[in-house]
Amino acid sequence: MAVDAAGKIYASNETGGSSPGSVSIYNSNGLLAQTIVTPTGPQGVAVAPNGNVWMAIVPLGTVQAYSPAGTLLTTIPASSGLYGPTAVAVDSNEKVYVTNNGGNNVTTYLSDGTRTTPTINISTPYGIAVDAAGKIYVANGSGIYTFNPDGSPSSPTITGSSFGFVAVDATGNIYGTANTMIMFPFPSSSCTLKTYNSSGVPITPTILKPVVNCTGVAVH
């Protein structure tokens, strides 16, 4: 999911196989405003400053961009370095960052789909976010890792949880979704939204939800 500068909410509707998917766009009051239809199920969604909507089309192994009106603008094919793309982030220059869960890296593209730098090697990345300064935040099964705009490691590093998705707000606070398996009194899972300041120190809120999975997080 994603939120744009106007407070609109973008939610991906995953589907399996060849069934069409979609991204639902809601006004800040929660009313459905628009639907972008995709070839099949999208997962990670990001909104560029110009309103273009980027998404990982997981079943096809591609990344696509749509105009605010829902017109397909760009398709980044798997042959451009994608391998199991799961999430997308876009910076202020519409530079696009993609987590390749199957490729153990993050690849970067210009707005026209041309591959560029950096390439960040990280085991099984999932969620990704970019802040206003271009710092890159990547979530995986062992933590949230931070990188400078050139791809070199930065701080903070947040460990101790298996994170799925990550978001960062304008003040630098970091939000990560952590899924936990509970074995007693019966096997089930829960999702916790954990919040950290820009130094990686835990802060409020921490939100525990008894849901099967958290499939995204966004801040406005």
For residue range 131-172, what is the model confidence (pLDDT) as tens digits? 999 999 999 989 999 999 999 999 999 998 889 999 999 999
Residue 123 lies in a domain: yes
Using one digit for the tens of pLDDT, what is the confidence trace for 194-220? Answer: 999 999 999 998 887 755 567 789 998
% of residues, the chain, pLDDT over 90: 78
pLDDT for residue 185 = 45
Distance, in Å, from the CA atom of 58 to the CA atom of 203, rounded to the nearest integer, reads: 33
Count of domains forming the chain? 1
Q: Are 126 and 88 within 8 A, CB to CB?
A: no
Does residue 40 lie in a domain region? yes
Please report, for the domain that includes residue 124, its CATH number.
2.120.10.30
Rounded Cα distance, 77 and 83, in Å = 10
168 inside domain: yes
Please state the pTM of the whole predicted model: 0.93
Whether 219 is covered by a domain: the verdict is no
Full domain range(s) for residue 144: 2-209
Region of residue 44 (left: phi > 0; alpha: psi -120 to 50; beta: else): beta
Is there a domain that residue 216 lies in? no
Query: For the chain, how far is it from start to end, CA to CA, in angstroms?
Result: 12
- What phi and psi, each to the nearest 5 degrees, are found at residue 79? -70, -10
* Euclidean distance between CA atoms 158 and 10, whole angstroms: 27
The answer to the question of residue 68 being in a domain is: yes
